[in-house]
């Protein structure tokens, strides 16, 4: 049994090394240099893209509606017990720190749980943080397409009871430029000040 286990470990090491090698050859960290405190995206990987979703008032919203402004995008779900509220509060605090520059940025919360996050649910939820926070939902297909474009992973974590399940989801904060392209990527654990500074640096580059 021990031999089998070591062979399995060896295989994992080989696979990880191969993936790392391919990634480095394709540009690695040098391909995309996000904001100072941001996260780097491997070169050649496109993040973001068109979406057609529904806002808290039941109105259809597309990415084109935000063109000319930055979008601060976060994917999550309103039933999330901890991570999403923390990150949405972080975004809200960063927006406040931006002062009048905040007018150039649209904070957006896109649900990965359209089954429970109806337009009304997401509209009421985002108001708990800020009137400026745009909550978006849609059909499962619309959400899947948006998540795919943003390289968001999400899945139901538990299906013991149909209405009380949790969702696993990746939790990056995306800063999209006025052209709709990725400007910077922020990970969990960023402070509101660092997030605001990172956004301001990008705003300065495009004013």
Q: State in angstroms the smallest separation of the CB of 133 from Ni ion.
A: 15
Indicate the residue among 76 and 138 with the shorter CB distance to Ni ion: 76
The string over 33-54, giving b where at least 16 C-beta atoms fall within 10 Å of a residue's C-beta and e elsewhere, is ebbebbbebeeeeebbbebbbb
| Residue placing its CB nearer to Ni ion in the complex, 6 or 153 | 153
Sheet holding 60-62, edge to edge: 60-62, 52-55, 134-137, 105-111, 70-76, 173-176, 182-186
We find the least distance from the C-beta atom of residue 76 to Ni ion, in angstroms, to be: 4
Minimum distance between the CB of residue 13 and Ni ion, rounded to whole angstroms? 32
What is the rounded distance in angstroms from the CA atom of residue 207 to the CA atom of residue 202?
9
For the bound state, the minimum distance from the C-beta of residue 75 to Ni ion, rounded and expressed in Å, comes to: 9
For Ni ion, the closer of residues 56 and 76 by Cβ is 76
End-to-end CA distance of the chain: 63
Nearer to Ni ion, 12 or 83 (CB): 83
- What is the helix (H) or strand (E) element at residue 169, kind and residue range? strand 167-169
Q: What contacts 68, CB < 8 A, 6 or more positions away?
A: 178
For the CB of residue 170, give the shortest distance to Ni ion in the complex, in Å.
10
User: In terms of residues, how long is the chain?
Assistant: 207
Q: How far is CA 56 from CA 92, 125, 171, in A?
A: 18, 9, 21
Q: How far is the CB of 186 from Ni ion (least distance, A)?
A: 15
For binding to Ni ion (CB under 5 A), which residues are involved? 76, 80, 83-84
- At residue 129, φ and ψ (nearest 5 deg) are -95, -55
CB nearer Ni ion, residue 70 or residue 77: 77
Strand-pairing partners, residue 185, are: 174
Q: Which is nearer to Ni ion, 32 or 172 (CB)?
A: 172
């Amino acid at each position: 049994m021990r031999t089998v286990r070591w062979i399995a470990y060896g295989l994992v090491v080989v696979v990880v090394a191969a993936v790392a090698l391919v990634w480095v050859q394709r540009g690695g960290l040098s391909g995309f240099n996000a904001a100072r405190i941001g996260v780097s995206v491997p070169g050649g990987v496109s993040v973001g893209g068109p979406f057609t979703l529904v806002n808290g008032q039941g109105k259809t919203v597309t990415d084109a509606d935000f063109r000319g402004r930055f979008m601060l995008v976060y994917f999550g779900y309103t039933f999330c017990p901890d991570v999403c509220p923390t990150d949405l509060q972080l975004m809200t605090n960063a927006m406040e720190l931006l002062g009048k520059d905040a007018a150039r940025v649209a904070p957006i919360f896109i649900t990965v749980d359209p089954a429970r996050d109806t337009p009304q649910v997401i509209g009421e939820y985002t108001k708990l943080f800020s009137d400026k926070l745009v909550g978006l939902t849609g059909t499962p297909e619309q959400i899947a397409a948006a998540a795919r474009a943003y390289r968001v992973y999400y899945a139901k974590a538990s299906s013991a009871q149909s209405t009380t399940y949790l969702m696993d989801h990746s939790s990056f904060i995306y800063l999209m430029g006025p052209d709709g392209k990725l400007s910077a990527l922020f990970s969990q654990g960023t402070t509101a000040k660092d997030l605001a500074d990172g956004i301001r640096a990008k705003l300065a580059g495009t004013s």
